[in-house]
Structure 1
Amino acid sequence: MLSKENTVIGFIGTGVMGKSMASHLLEAGYQLTIFTRTKEKAAELLEKGAIWSQSTRELAQRADVVFTIVGYPSDVEEVYLGEDGLIANAKPGSYLIDMTTSTPSLAKKIHEKAKEKGIHAIDAPVSGGDVGAREARLAIMVGSDEQDFQEVEPLLSVLGTNIVHQGEPGAGQHTKMANQIAIASNMIGVCEAIIYAEKAGLDPETVLKSISTGAAGSWSLSNLAPRMIAGNFEPGFFIKHFIKDMKIALDEAKRMDMEVPGLSMALSMYEHLAEKGEENSGTQALYKYWKQS
């Protein structure tokens, strides 16, 4: 049992979402040690009582459970499989929970390598953006052995409200791909709806009052359309990371001999924006595609 009194939690990745997630674990009463490439990004968490680790190796040696939410699959591979990484240095019996959106094949590889050392590896990507992370309302999609899921579910419940065990290792990442495919086409529709309303001479905020609670309703319409209207393109989720996710989903679809025209179109549009310097904007900046066309 992972009790608050005896469990040290490690956290790697304190960006837009990770910072809030780590903070919730601290506020829940867990001992927390953190590592990030830029220590300044962890300043607020350190002030709240988190302990700084000098490296991934040091963090792995201290922690009973480690959460990671980093940028790209290459970062995940380095953090988990590198010489100074988690699997090489974690204590037998510890739990490694990767919440990065990464590839299903890498999640399976990490699970097998960890299992060889008596370590429990879990893929648990999330959805909900900066708002979901801040309000501890994330959707968490878990791929793991059933026993491992039961053990860490209380910790996951500190971070989210919709926690589903999807199946074996890699299943969490496959589920996240389904999530990103749904978002990709939906974001095109949300942008087109807002721009259509504006061109028709309507007040887009008033239009949202009607359409966001009807059949057109979606998370993106309720949470990101107001940001578009306000001209707020700060990242709740970076365009560059969404492009990474869409490419993973496209590769997986090709392996399954599946056509994904909506995903392909969205990827092309977001890559156009990235080429125009918008890679560090939030995904709602897709709105600008029509303004630049």
Structure 2
Amino acid sequence: MNKTVGFIGTGVMGKSMAGHLMNAGYPVVVYNRTKAKAEDLLDAGAVWKETPAEVAKAADVIITIVGYPSDVEAVYLKDDGILANAKPGSYAIDMTTSSPMLAKKLYEEGKKKNVHVLDAPVSGGDVGAKNGTLTIMAGGAEADFNEIKPILDVMGGNVIRQGEAGAGQHTKMCNQIAIASNMMGVAEAIVYAEQAGLDPERVLDSIGSGAAGSWSLSNLAPRMIKGDFEPGFYIKHFIKDMNIAIESAEAMGMNTPGLTLAKSLYDQLSEQGHDDKGTQAIYLLLKGNNN
């Protein structure tokens, strides 16, 4: 019999991820701060729960993908949260991009309650979530990872355990650091093509399959060209991730000049009111600076 999966956070990413689990035959119970964002899942057969505590009591495996580390902490550590209410022996997988130190704390607190906690942030954006091809970077005990890997495989096409608790979050920081500088380069390339009087789509046909190729170039540059700045990943959440990465790097005594510059540009976008646009909206800033 399939384990009952609790899913907390049914936004841009979580909605599709939970849908894949339902399609794979897992009974799914859901909670989201805004119930309307879960309506499609409820119509498809998911069961609504009024609180994270109710989800934890009903599920064998609890998955969370919420906004900020403060949200993660609240969902897991409050009296009406997961760890105080989960069944002994159950599994909790935080797929939010969050702090490596918090991931370690949740793992240790889970051990006290006989709840197996893993951190498993994702990459691939809304496209990866919809297609079930997310990259999933996991941290936690190897036996726990092996137990829940079939569930992760339903949502992801590249599922790798990186090490003990916190290792998944550290790996996601590597991912975000690489993306931060890459996004600047992608946007600059498109603006340059336009300023030079080139057809940017034709330029993409040439450079997308060469040494400049990247996921962002292939998936987000076309959105820039079309003026589509809807979020596959929110700017406000990317800024959150960059803050975590900078803090984690500073704790290791490491300088991150590319990341720091990228964050300064995204901070400008945030100040201009673009928090809820997708990360590809960095194009608007660079385009505006070159008009």
Q: TM-score range by the shorter chain?
A: over 0.9
Shift of 1:54: 1.0
Aligned letter for 2:43?
E
Equivalent in the alignment of 2:153: 157
Equivalent in the alignment of 1:202: 198
Q: Does residue 118 of structure 1 match 2:114?
A: yes
What are the equivalent positions in structure 2 for 1:41-80 lying under 5 Å apart? 41-80=37-76
Equivalent in the alignment of 1:15: 11
Equivalent in the alignment of 1:170: 166
Separation of aligned partners in 2, 1:59 and 1:72? 20
Q: Does residue 264 of structure 1 match 2:260?
A: yes
8 Å contact kept, 2:191–2:287:
no
8 Å contact kept, 2:92–2:115:
yes
The alignment's TM-score, normalised by the length of structure 1, stands at: 0.98
Equivalent in the alignment of 2:210: 214
Can you give the 5+ residue segments of structure 2 that lack an aligned partner in the other structure?
none
SS in 2 for 1:122: strand
Equivalent in the alignment of 1:238: 234
Deviations along 1:172-208, one digit per CA (max 9) or x if unpaired, are 0000000000000000000010011001100000000
Equivalent in the alignment of 1:253: 249
Separation of aligned partners in 2, 1:14 and 1:154? 20
Separation of aligned partners in 2, 1:158 and 1:115? 26
8 Å contact kept, 2:140–2:165:
yes
Identity of aligned residues (%): 63
Q: Give the alignment partner of residue 95 of structure 1, picking from 91, 100, 103.
A: 91
Shift of 1:291: 2.8
Equivalent in the alignment of 1:226: 222
Q: Does residue 127 of structure 1 match 2:113?
A: no
The number of equivalent residue pairs is 289
Q: Does residue 286 of structure 1 match 2:282?
A: yes
Separation of aligned partners in 2, 1:175 and 1:259? 17
Shift of 1:290: 1.6
SS in 1 for 2:66: coil
SS in 2 for 1:88: coil
Q: Give the alignment partner of residue 189 of structure 1, picking from 177, 185, 188.
A: 185
Q: CA RMSD in A?
A: 0.5
Separation of aligned partners in 1, 2:286 and 2:126? 25
Separation of aligned partners in 1, 2:248 and 2:6? 31
8 Å contact kept, 2:31–2:50:
yes
Deviations along 1:125-182, one digit per CA (max 9) or x if unpaired, are 0000000000000000000100001000100000001001000000000000000000
Equivalent in the alignment of 1:106: 102
Shift of 1:292: 2.9
Separation of aligned partners in 2, 1:292 and 1:61? 51
Shift of 1:271: 0.2
The alignment's TM-score, normalised by the length of structure 2, stands at: 0.99
Separation of aligned partners in 2, 1:75 and 1:290? 32
4+ residue runs of structure 1 moved beyond 3 angstroms? none
